[in-house]
Structure 1
């Protein structure tokens, strides 16, 4: 009937106000009125009241029911707050997601913070800007989470301290004409934020350098905001600017959610659930061989794709027929893509949970960080497409009871080593806020002169898939770090989803999930057209075709997935179930084969590159025309090669240079270009008089 997670939150709250308590997972497993009425109720954790009185001159341990601090530790907290104890409204611990964000903040050590979100807004006049800032301050005054600072030094656990009054910081900047004003304002504001002073949002402003008007960069730290919360914040600002303050519901405390998230389900229950799901997993799922999940997100590139016209309706009809949601089908499609690019048939990836399902009444209008990321596991080599959809529906429903489980607990429940990430790919199915357009305030002179120019969020995961569902159409967005190509991943996901829906629409066939194609026919056709036209069966033709295949995929896949050997077959052997029979595949010759015409190095750079290739790959000699990946190299070995080149030539060579120029001669030329680019420019010195 069109329901989704955002509407479930509202329905749960509506039922609770009428004395009916229904477990959230029931909405996803038994979504009919009759089945929901038959489910048992669910008990909510009773959140203790805030015991800090207004105007308190001293805060004692007995006033803090949600956190255990000594008087000395409390005094240390009070000393950090402007106005002391009288300006402290509450002190309580962090929610699970906030703990993870704090870890990455500390990892940045004052450098670029991956979880600092920003929005650039343009204003017709300074008066529009001033009204916007005033409205934003009023929203900050309303919500405790927006007046929160994070403290951890000298404390047994990190805490969040709610200030009673916290004034927005606003910094004016002068931009030079001709520069990109959005980029220049972001650079002036910087990419870090101190977490020990409230509020954890600020504004940097500048007059538009190339014309009338003003710009403002609003920075918000993810530790107090998520995507939905930001929509709530901006929605209230828009309502205040329209003069319709009466439409805004009374604010609710974020402490209620924190208490529910930390106490409603015990850590033992979380561990039991995830041990059953992941206890036998000993290897991470690493698409494209990229392991790093501790980056700052600055190297992500993005590509968006839409589905063909009319497909979204067919997707929704298929999901409804199967008694599930489009989000479930997209999760299954993403699992198939991850299996392909990670070269595994038992995969794990992270899914972003809404986090407001069991967070208590009114959680959909609290502008705080509720979301969490938890693992989904799919045995793509064992399940048919229909079985995969049913299993995914049940697994996502089961995760809802653990939607605030700390990722550290999840990792501990698996068999993967603590220092190794359990997964490096993320999936996020996002609905709009479900608001009725008639509820939006009419544009006024105060709001028509304001428009958003740019918004930026980052992730520490190497590859992120997002599906935005506006209730009508779906848009695929892939964010990925080099050498992963976001277009390639987006195309894989779109093609896989199309083929999955086709397979699910069959009434006579239920193929294995592993048989769903991830590459469309146009790409296959282009590959066939690129092959050389030579007599079948000729050894020379086979060698040329194999090399063309390698060259083709080398421009579309990261080095981790470029095969060092290609074997041509008339057809792939299959089992009686239609799956590829791996045991029947011929054993390829994996021995590295340098080019027959060995051309020795003629420059110090070529000598260093050839030596590095040979040492890392264990070869006696390498010529300047030899291809690193054709010799058996891959991404992990590439890092070692670049380290040896740096030691020999005292120059940092980016991985992209090796991917683009994988021969010794080509890489040596790139090194020469890098030396010219990095050569410092001498400028005349100015005297004091000048």
Structure 2
């Protein structure tokens, strides 16, 4: 029959704090908790816990005390201190919404909460007494954040300060009885109220003893602290290791949220035991964690394929199963070898027993499914303040014959096979696991029904692309958006429905229950009862039609918000591009960004000037855009910079690849997009475009299939890096190239490297769409225009608006700092360099959803939120109260250019002010306004701004903009080749054009943040820390918008750069000649300058760049001086010696080709003759001389 008992295991009649105090007495300087270089020894832990306990006792007896703190070592001291005081702790996870925290505090009847600064902010208005955690102790032995082997285990932390209190002080005197409560863990409640599970001390002591025996915990173990304190797995992570004398490696918020950082954290802390949720197992690399001996997992069924990955090399892999009501664990199973089926949940843990029963609580035979009943030493006392629910779920054991023995009805549907192993089949009630968290569907329904405009609500759990998700159906007048915000404010992220549909009524079964299957399966369009205001004017109708088409909507109402319906800054540009020719009005991007609703956008469009511009003129000879001219100049100025402007994409292709079809498809793409056939030579220092005829695109193949797997992947990475770093010669090379790597019969990697002059980030989507179409054998239609047409159109637009936009920029940036100096690890070289380093991190799905929610609530885009957070972090690190950084502005304002590959990007400066006393929400609004204003003035390119402010002569750093904010408001494109499955392959950036660049792009509902930095200036560890700061500001800021800039990103104490030349001031060229040239070389240099700058005369101390000279003019000067004087002048020399006199002195130190000065005299005579001819022509045509 389906019953089984676990082994009998003795456990001490001791309270948990006593067990920890024993280790403090015997090994006071052993490390108890570590988080990088923040360490608590057992002595320090017990002293801090004793301080908490003493202060709680001074406040009088309290049965329950809350703990709400960020993930830092003192959090553990807070938990231990509450237990030592004789009270039970109630964990309050600061990641929960404040309303949810207040609900838990109210249900628990809390009077006091032990908290840190974050917890105090979250609970400031909850009417609770807030007891601060003790101050953080001094750092431990490792100042660089890398624990050594001794410190990571139980060896003394010799560098940490040793408190004077005796070992074991403070937390050893726990007077609680075995049946007194140790903690109350709140879980989802079917009544709509959270349920508090009451765990007594005896159950806690039994569990930590049992787990130590099962997992081999001891003084040499280092356990990963990963779980949230509001999740019962935290007892595995935080409490059990300390009872065994081991070390807790407590992962911080940023480290636990990003797989790459978590991998590094585990490796560098030398974690030996880790509870890893099933969702995290696939994203960690077991081979990189050689110290990890035991992997524990649970809460959901782990993928069977994970067993072989994690048990390689003899590592143990244990699948744990148990509800909170059984103190974490009731059954377990140790797996090994290859598995191709779901893992069983195993057999009962020590001191526990289970039964499998039918709905009448009768035992069922092996092989027959039934509900799991659990009994044993780990059983909870029941539910706090809910005797009826306790009586329903905790029932007398009818099988043991022992009075007073109870069983817990888990609600889990299981089957026991003849081999004695239990297998989990699902739920018999309405409880589900969402992202590892237990969710009571009834609670979600109750929260929905609590909205005043909801009549009825029903929620179902369905399989979605990211696993199980909730879908909700409501009746009444509340819109899905309103209900989503209502739930987000009251429920944890896992409990918020992924989709909410408003229906006229809820269909019922004959039993009277809601027919959820019919609701979910019904394919008819959901009926939205929200009042709909139809477009009321012809312009509103036109705007609504384009809006709906762009975002794939059935309809758009007058009061719909563009961003709430899925729009972002890029789609706003597309909306403007489509509206301009249809309305014949000069609709601008700010009309969408500021108007937001259909009503407001249409009103602004109606008030816009009638459009006078003609469609783009076709067929002009192709010219270079200002941005392309700048890239050409940078290659001439600093050849080592060339790789910094390579864009690299790589895709792993699985399936039967047709190589010839891929090569033909690439040729078809090049035929359609003329710019991919451009080369950029020059004549006399002036670059121009040459369009090559259509020809087959080379697709060389490198075969790596014979190499072993690990070596093959290493070689692939090395060759991809070499491809990425290969320089393009703009004058002679095709400006995109391809390589195919063969890894196996049905596995390849295709890599494309393109020069930025012909390709930008937005072009990736066009390339992938066209490539997929052509690979499938469908001809590509010709484009309505060429990239050369775009450049000509842009020049025409710029001529119309350049002066007004330049006036706006010179006013807007007047007085702004010209330098943003993030402190580096090494001195800045005398000339700008370009080697790249890289780091990256993820915002998880919940944090990304919070980011979008916060943006919607504050009338901003996610980019504006990220910009505000980035600005605060940069200001904190650089010690500046204001700063200028750049952002790419995509210019595809005409619909003819939207489907085109090319370089449509200008760098736009953004002026941000960091207000330490202003709220994060205010910073976001300011960042939003700055983005809108900057995008509204696109016709003054960065090169012209640099010239206008006299910043063009810099050689140390890029002028005006040293940091780039490059966050895409769209999901990363996916390559969909017929018959193949593709997966992006990350390729490190081959160079860094700026000091640092922040990239952001959303993939599969998560935001990926990456920093490419100049590795001559910064170590990756410093950029990791900056990225960590950024993620913390984002997650805390979007969760608590009232937090100030100073609270989110306090100053790091760096002195700001504020020299007299560190502020932007417009430069007015001074054409007066104060000091005339004197020597022959000065006269020759001055003659060349006059020709290039269009001046009659220049002075010996005139600065070339202050006199109107720019980058391209500098190249022309360089070439003419070399040709006329026979010198080997480099472009960089003009930047180093920017006055006539300085450059002439430098030239006098060089030698001519024939060693004479005749070239100087000849050059002067030729220059004088040319100027005379020019004056004569001007006079004969009646022009003023």
TM-score in terms of structure 1 length: 0.60
Who is 2:907 aligned against?
373
| Aligned position for 1:237 | 771
Question: Which residue in the other structure is 2:374 paired with?
Answer: none
The reply on whether 1:134 has 2:675 as its aligned counterpart is no
CA shift, 1:365, in A, is 1.2
- Alpha-carbon separation, structure 2, partners of 1:326 and 1:213: 36
SS in 2 for 1:466: strand
User: Aligned pair in 2 of structure 1 residues 103, 417: CA closer, same or farther (>3 Å)?
Assistant: closer
Aligned to 1:35: 600
Contact 2:664–2:775 under 8 Å retained in 1:
no
Q: Which residue of 1 aligns with 2:1026?
A: 489
Change (3 A) 1:426 1:292: farther
Q: Distance in 2 between matches of 1:133 and 1:365?
A: 21
**Secondary structure of 1:113 counterpart:** helix
SS in 2 for 1:349: strand
Instruction: Note closer, same or farther for the CA distance 1:146–1:324 as it changes in structure 2 (3 Å cut).
Output: same
Q: Is 1:10 the equivalent of 2:574?
A: yes
C-alpha displacement of 1:150: 1.1
Q: Distance in 2 between matches of 1:292 and 1:30?
A: 47
SS at match of 1:287: coil
Structure 1 residue 171 displacement after superposition: 4.2
Residue 463 (1) aligns with residue 996 (2): yes
Q: 1:103 aligns with which of 633, 638, 641?
A: 633
> In the alignment, what sits opposite 1:303?
840
Cα gap change, 1:188/1:159 in structure 2, threshold over 3 Å: closer, same or farther?
same
**Higher RCO (Cα < 8 Å, 6 or more apart):** 1
* Deviation digits for residues 349-380 of structure 1 (CA, Å, limit 9, x no counterpart): 11222332x3x114331111112222111121
Question: 2:764 and 2:597 mapped to 1: Cα distance?
Answer: 32
Q: Residues 170-209 of structure 1 correspond to what in structure 2 (within 5 A)?
A: 170-171=699-700, 177=707, 178=711, 180-186=714-720, 189=723, 191-197=726-732, 199-205=734-740, 207-208=742-743
Q: CA deviation at 1:344?
A: 0.6
Alpha-carbon distance in 1 for matches of 2:855, 2:596: 13
Q: Distance in 1 between matches of 2:612 and 2:734?
A: 30
Q: Verify the 8 A CA contact 2:672 2:782 in the aligned structure 1.
A: no
Structure 1, unaligned runs of 5 or more: 52-63, 65-90, 520-556, 564-690
Aligned to 1:260: 793
The structure with more helix, counted as a fraction of residues:
1
Asked whether the 8 Å contact 1:465–1:476 carries over to 2, the reply is yes
Question: Is contact 2:838-2:988 (8 Å) kept?
Answer: no
Deviation at 1:27, TM superposition (A): 0.8
Q: How does 1:6-405 map to 2 (within 5 A)?
A: 6-21=570-585, 22-39=587-604, 40-41=607-608, 43=611, 45-46=613-614, 49-51=617-619, 64=620, 91-109=621-639, 113-122=643-652, 128-154=658-684, 157-171=686-700, 177=707, 178=711, 180-186=714-720, 189=723, 191-197=726-732, 199-205=734-740, 207-208=742-743, 215-245=749-779, 250=783, 252-265=785-798, 266-281=801-816, 283-289=818-824, 297-307=834-844, 310-356=846-892, 358=893, 360-381=894-915, 384-385=918-919, 386-403=921-938, 405=940
Instruction: Supply the distance in 1 between the matched residues of 2:829 and 2:568 (Cα, whole angstroms).
Output: 33
TM-score when scaled to structure 2? 0.36
Measured in 2, the distance between the counterparts of 1:213 and 1:276 equals 56
RMSD over aligned Cα atoms: 3.6
Cα gap change, 1:240/1:456 in structure 2, threshold over 3 Å: closer, same or farther? farther
In the TM superposition, residue 430 of structure 1 has moved relative to its aligned partner by 0.8
Give 1:86's aligned residue: none
Contact kept, 8 Å, 2:656 with 2:746, in 1: the verdict is no
Q: Describe the shift of the 1:124–1:304 C-alpha distance in structure 2 as closer, same or farther (beyond 3 A).
A: closer
CA–CA distance in structure 1, aligned partners of residues 830 and 866 of structure 2:
23
Mapped partners of 2:1035, 2:729: distance in 1 = 46
* Structure 1 residues 444 and 271, CA gap change in structure 2 (3 angstroms): closer
Residue 76 of structure 1 corresponds to: none
TM-fit CA distance, 1:492 = 0.8
8 Å CA contact retained: 1:5, 1:354: no
C-alpha separation between the residues in 1 aligned to 2:570 and 2:900? 13
Q: Is the 8 A contact 2:784 2:896 kept in 1?
A: no
2 CA distance for matches of 1:98 and 1:115? 11
CA distance in 1, matches of 2:1004, 2:747: 35
Give the SS at the match of 2:924.
helix
Structure 1's 293 and 7: CA in aligned 2 closer, same or farther, altered over 3 A? farther
Residue of structure 1 in register with 2:12 after alignment: none
- Shift in Å, 1:130: 2.1
Q: Secondary structure of the residue that 2:644 maps to in structure 1?
A: coil
